[in-house]
Structure 1
Amino acid sequence: MTITPFWGHLVGAVTLATMLSFVGTWIWVWNARHRNKYDALARLPMHDEEAP
């Protein structure tokens, strides 16, 4: 099977889109305005439910 230039460009575009979405997600997660929400979610497993 030979690889045509079309498939090479398609694979490059998919790789670029995947990389950009990863970097965008990483930037969004590490944004300082989300810190309070993530701190609260990190402490959530430590809260025990009261026994009935």
Structure 2
Amino acid sequence: MIAAIKLAGAAPKYTVYKGAGHVIWDKVFGEPELLPWVFAQKRIAKG
């Protein structure tokens, strides 16, 4: 998925939690940079 996002011209920011499986929400939401990054995203107007 990351390769496809890069191919589309975006620069994804992501973290790999090795050995964590699918239940990582507590780790993800514990990251202090997550929510500021999410809310800083803006949609680029087309046209």
Range of TM-score over shorter length: 0.3 to 0.5
Give the TM-score taking structure 1 as reference length: 0.31
- Structure with max Cα Rg: 1
Give the TM-score taking structure 2 as reference length: 0.33
Higher relative contact order (CA 8 A, sep 6+): 2
Judging by fraction of residues, say which structure has more helix: 1
